[in-house]
Chain A
Amino acid sequence: MLKDITLGQYFPGDTIVHRLDPRTKLILVVVYIIALFQAKGWVSYAAVTLATALCMILSHIRPKNIFKGLKPMLFIIVLTALLNIFYTEGREIIPGWHMTWEGLARSVQMILRIVLLITGTFLLTYTTSPIALTDGLEMLLSPLKKIKVPVHEMTLMMSMALRFIPTLIEETDKIMSAQKARGADFETGRLIDRAKALLPILVPLFVSAFRRADELAVAMESRCYHGGEGRTRMKTLHFAAHDWIALILGALFLTGLFVMKHYGI
């Protein structure tokens, strides 16, 4: 059944990585991405890979889960690798073939970069609940409220979307069954027929989404919702000592990579 799909991919746990403030983790992920794009030589790549591996071990996330997440990206990874092998100028591996040593090196680095990028962001979503993530995002972005960016509204939208995804999936399931019982066919026919066959699902789904939105708005008003102003939070975020340590380590790591870049290693 559709509703059995696990969403958000959060693996609850009580490791040091789980306990870090979501803001720390968000900042560190940004630092990590910058660092990754600074990496030029093999030494830098080795440093980033090592750091990633360390975080993985600390967070008790099994490599299996990371690889599962990488699967959908496999096509892109292979494609970039191939393009790089064939379209980089340099010494040919086999004379006459347009495959170069430089290309090979570049494609290995490319693969590493994509895999590390995905792994890093997975570590964030695997160890941080969606709610903590949106809370962290709202607090990090709150200075933008001064220039009239609706940060609270945006993050509220995100968390409500997370809340309603399973509900809407379940609803889609029901509507599909109902239309199938009336002989709707979603599996055969030409592409255009199949696209048309979606109408009996999409229309009721939209109608119901609007009705839900309407009722939800009244329910929220009844619970005294009036925007972000004057709101407090039950779960406040606190920077602890380990957050500061993590941030300092992140800063040192980034500096290190800049230095490596300077020396071209």
Chain B
Amino acid sequence: MSIISFKQVHFTYPGDELESLCGVDLEIDEGSFVAVLGHNGSGKSTLAKHMNAILTPDSGSVVVDGIDSREEDKVFEIRRRVGMVFQNPDNQLVANVVEDDVAFAPENLGVPSAEIRERVDEALKQVGMYEYRTHAPHLLSGGQKQRVAIAGVIAMRPKIIVLDEPTAMLDPQGRHEVISTVTRLCREGGMTVVLITHHMEECIGADKLVVMSNGYIKAAGKPSEIFSDVEMMAREGLAVPETTKLLYELRHCGYDLPLGELDEKNCAAAIAAAKKQ
């Protein structure tokens, strides 16, 4: 069942000559982990902003959980279903106490006070920030702030969470914290996750990988399949995982190897067992 569906979406920013989205078709399955990979200016952030009706298509349609994003009176119905996390952790926290920030969205939705408390505690526990609930955001690390931002959207109890380059400004540890948190939300919490990124390592665990370039979807499918198309990835100027790269070159040297082993352990085992043809 697809929960977000893009049909022939075209979009141009006012004042721009070039289209940012040039006829995008995309289905996102409920409960799946979808990664969108592309360069700056590839249209991936524009794509993300269409998922919660911050932007609406010039032509074509975006349907989120059965609601067309162009129905203006249903904007908040869409936004409460789609939580958005952005790149700069500082610029999305509004309150000067962690728990008050997490409460912001449910307060906007008019949730009764007692239930807000419940939701806030639950959301903070889900991202592992419950012990920090009374801290001031500016004293947290980048990864912690970003987890608070995630808690801030899951307190809306959304069905989908869209993260627009959430790790671009983080150090490796923060990056790891954020990715493992959203992976857990998807795998254990059943939430649909859409991760927009330019770090290909973050896409390896996804169910579906979408490669964007110049407003087009160049490829979509299982990460192992997409990365296996090493020539296409090179043409798009995108890196492939070290595992794929090595397998690809060893195949060229005549070894019988599958390209799809993204996991280091499996890849290593395959190489250990490989024979020259």
Contacts and interface: CB of A to CB of B under 8 A. Distances in A.
Check whether chain A touches chain B (CB < 8 angstroms): yes
A162 B86 CA distance: 22
Interface string B96-139: 11011001111111111100110010000000000000001110
B92 interface: yes
Interface stretch (B76-84, B195-203, B206-214, B233-241): B76-84
Contact of B107 (A160, A216, A231): A231
A219 B96 contact: no
Given A234-B106, A234-B107, A220 B113 contact: no
B214 to A, nearest CB: 24
Contacts of B52: 222
B138 A166 contact: yes
Given A212-B90, A230-B110, A231-B110, A223 B105 contact: yes
Interface string A39-51: 0000000000000
A163 B105 contact: no
Given A215-B92, A224-B79, A224-B80, A166 B136 contact: yes
Interface string A156-187: 00011011001100100000000000000000
A215 B105 CA distance: 16
B4 interface: no
B94 interface: yes
29 contacts: A3-B138, A131-B96, A131-B100, A159-B95, A167-B90, A167-B138, A212-B88, A212-B90, A212-B91, A215-B86, A215-B88, A216-B91, A221-B79, A222-B52, A222-B84, A223-B83, A223-B104, A223-B153, A224-B76, A224-B80, A225-B104, A231-B110, A232-B106, A232-B107, A234-B100, A234-B116, A234-B117, A235-B103, A235-B113
A160 B86 contact: no
Contacts of A170: 138
Contacts of B97: 129, 131
Contacts of B107: 231-234
B138 A224 contact: no
B191 interface: no
Contacts of A232: 106-107, 110-113, 116
Contacts of B103: 233-235
Interface residues of B, number: 39
A216 B113 contact: no
A212 B90 CA distance: 8
Interface of B: 52, 54, 76, 79-80, 83-84, 86, 88, 90-97, 99-100, 103-113, 116-117, 120, 136-138, 152-153, 156
Given A167-B90, A223-B153, 13 more contacts: A162-B96, A167-B138, A215-B92, A218-B86, A219-B91, A221-B79, A222-B54, A222-B153, A226-B76, A226-B108, A231-B107, A232-B113, A233-B116
Contacts of A211: 91
A159 B94 CA distance: 8
Contacts of A131: 95-97, 100
A236 interface: yes
Nearest to B155: A223
Nearest to B152: A223
Nearest to B162: A222
A230 B80 CA distance: 15
Nearest to A8: B96
A226 B93 CA distance: 16
Contacts of B110: 230-232
Q: Which of A129, A212, A218 has the most CB of B within 10 A?
A: A218
B194 to A, nearest CB: 13
